[in-house]
């Protein structure tokens, strides 16, 4: 069985690197694009027309970057991810779609980014919480600032994983939050949530950005909601992929984890199920 051992791989990502995770990330991208109101729902058409070079950090299989390239042909989009498998898949998809304005390369955002100063008009990162240690965030934002052009934008989106009326989900979340604290991946003051949301503004400000703004959104995966079925697939698959992390860190025994996952699958399909994932997008300008 795959184990969670970032000391060997340099990859702290709690869901691992596999074909199954690729499927999960493709579904997740679609869900968040919908719940956030689009690719750049907070930006004006006039502003987007001035953007020509875009970087997507931790791009995974390239879902967001590919959609941006398709929707905005005047933009040259680059995606970077630590997984060679994800990058290979994304480049194949770009070629198959006939998109010559998007490309993908391997890179570790916990290390200096392999781009010259002031390379991009917009640097984007979505849902990188629990991907690198908390201590790696300030250096990452300094790198994002370095490679952003003057008057360019740094844009970051984070989520708090959600609140539900499923006892199994809440128990699994308690285990996840405890494991995240042990692994140095949570931002909260007391371990009761991931805690990324209050930090987005702070990271942008400390990196040197001005004209900071924020926009909240939420993903409703409740029974009867538009994203219920896709949210069900996304969340149950995400917890399945967390198995090596939760059991490896020692917060859940294998048998207990199996029981919780089965209960979650049943509870999320009940007519009474309610679930909301809270998301915050923050952005700022490089002076």
Answer for the pair 200, 137: CB distance below 8 angstroms, yes or no.
Answer: no
Per-residue model confidence (pLDDT) at position 21: 84
Q: Which fold has domain 6-285?
A: Rossmann fold (3.40.50)
pLDDT digits (tens, 9 = 90+) for 106-165: 999 999 999 999 999 999 999 999 888 999 999 999 999 999 999 999 999 999 988 999
The DSSP secondary structure of 203-222, one letter per residue, reads HHHHHT-EEEEEEEEEEE-S
Burial 95-120 (b: 16+ CB within 10 A, else e): eeeebebbbbeebbbbeebebeeebb
The mean pLDDT of 88-108, rounded to a whole number, is: 97
The mean pLDDT of 224-236, rounded to a whole number, is: 95
pLDDT digits (tens, 9 = 90+) for 19-41: 888 888 999 999 999 999 999 99
Per-residue model confidence (pLDDT) at position 1: 40
The mean pLDDT of 4-17, rounded to a whole number, is: 59
What's CA 240's distance to the chain center, in Å?
A: 17
Q: How crowded is residue 243: how many other Cβ atoms within 10 Å of its Cβ?
A: 19
pLDDT digits (tens, 9 = 90+) for 254-275: 999 999 999 999 999 999 999 9
The mean pLDDT of 242-246, rounded to a whole number, is: 90
Burial 25-37 (b: 16+ CB within 10 A, else e): bbbbbbbbbebbe
Q: Report the distance separating Cα 71 and Cα 61, nearest Å.
A: 17
For the chain, how big is the Rg over CA atoms in Å? 18
Q: Report the distance separating Cα 26 and Cα 30, nearest Å.
A: 7
Angle at 13 between CA 9 and CA 18, to 5 degrees: 80
Is 189 exposed, middle or buried (CB count within 10 Å of its CB: 0-12, 13-18, 19+)? exposed
């Amino acid at each position: 069985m795959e184990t969670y051992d970032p000391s060997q791989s340099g990859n702290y990502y709690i869901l691992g690197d596999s074909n199954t995770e690729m499927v999960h990330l493709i579904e997740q991208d679609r869900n968040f694009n919908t719940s956030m109101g689009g690719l750049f729902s907070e930006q004006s058409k006039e502003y987007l027309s001035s953007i020509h070079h875009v970087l997507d950090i931790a791009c995974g299989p390239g879902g967001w970057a590919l959609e941006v390239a398709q929707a905005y042909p005047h933009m040259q989009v680059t995606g970077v991810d630590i997984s060679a498998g994800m990058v290979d898949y994304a480049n194949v998809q770009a070629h198959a779609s006939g998109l010559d304005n998007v490309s993908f390369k391997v890179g570790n955002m916990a290390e200096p980014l392999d781009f010259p100063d002031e390379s991009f008009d917009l640097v984007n990162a979505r849902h990188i919480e629990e991907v690198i240690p908390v201590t790696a965030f300030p250096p990452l934002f300094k790198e994002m600032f370095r490679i952003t052009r003057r008057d360019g934008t740094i844009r970051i989106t984070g989520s708090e994983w959600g609140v539900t009326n499923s006892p199994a989900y809440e128990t699994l979340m308690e285990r996840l939050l405890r494991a995240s604290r042990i692994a140095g991946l949570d931002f909260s003051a007391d371990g009761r949530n991931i805690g990324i949301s209050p930090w987005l503004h702070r990271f942008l400000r400390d990196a040197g950005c001005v004209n900071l703004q924020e926009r909240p959104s939420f993903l409703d995966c409740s029974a009867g909601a538009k994203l219920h079925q896709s949210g069900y697939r996304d969340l149950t698959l995400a917890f399945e992929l967390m198995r090596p992390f939760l059991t490896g860190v020692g917060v859940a025994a294998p048998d207990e984890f199996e029981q919780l996952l089965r209960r979650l699958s049943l509870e999320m399909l009940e007519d009474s199920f309610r679930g909301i994932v809270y998301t915050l997008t923050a952005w700022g300008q490089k002076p």
